[in-house]
Amino acid sequence: MIELAAVEDNRLLIDGLRAWAETVPDIRLVVVTASVDELLRNRSAPPDVVLLNSLLRADPDAAANVRRLVGAGHRVLVIDGSADLSTAAPSMAAGAHAYLTRDHDTAALAATLRGIAAGGTPWSLGPTRAPGATGPGRPPLSEREHGVLMAYASGLTLESAARRLGISPETARTYLKRVKAKYRRVGLPVYTKLDLAQRVRADCTEGTHPRTQAGQRPALSGARPRNAARGQAAPVRSA
């Protein structure tokens, strides 16, 4: 059973999320809070995944919210009301495991939650590839490669991307070359910034990055096994 927490302040969306979760046998919505502070103060068992609204009224800085949650050991799925990559890129660079936009449906939400709970890489760009999906799949990227890709593809110049990440422009250029080479090796050549942005958008629909083999920071712990003796699912509680 995947235990889900939601940081959401829109009552209509909360009701919809509760209704949806009741129809999915392996996902249980266990806590809903209106702010990150409320969730971090909650003393109940940590959830498998935190669903984070990127446009909270009390906490409008989505990237800062992601950093706080990830820093506290949570896996974070950002829900962004915009389909514009530039609004999601800062959250992904801050460590979010995945994000979904208004263009995704509840099937994508369920698939993404399952992928994250199963230990998906912290630098995924979107929902986990659905069973039976075809195509070459995206290449494994390191944390820094992913950060440069997201910052650059969101519309920043390479120099601005480097400043955001705290590295030199030359180092950022090296990472970008590696990203392009990795995509090329899996049969997905990218040459321009537009190519990269389009590739990222496609990736957000098709699946998450596989784990890197070398130099990768360990992913947050995998899905925690659930003890059947815990009994029936508890009702959703609001902190």
Distance, CA of 76 to CA of 67 (rounded, Å): 10
- Return the amino acid letter for 8: E
The structural domains of the chain, ordered by start, are 1-120 (3.40.50.2300), 137-217 (1.10.10.10)
Q: Tell me the C-alpha to C-alpha distance, in Å, between residue 20 and each of 10, 127, 131, 205.
A: 15, 18, 21, 21
Tens of pLDDT, residues 196-230: 877 776 665 454 443 333 333 333 333 333 333 33
pLDDT digits 0-9 by tens, 131-168 = 444 555 667 788 788 888 888 887 789 998 899 888 99
Residue 160 identity: S
The pLDDT tens digits for 115-127 are 888 876 544 443 3
- What amino acid is encoded at 140 in this protein? P
Between 155 and 128, the higher pLDDT residue = 155
**Which pLDDT score is estimated for 140?**
78
Q: What is the pTM of this model?
A: 0.64
Contacts of residue 5, defined as CB under 8 A and 6 or more positions apart, other chains included, come to 29, 30, 31, 32, 33, 39, 42, 47, 49, 50, 51, 74
pLDDT exceeds 80 at position 48: yes
Tokens of 216: 């990768």
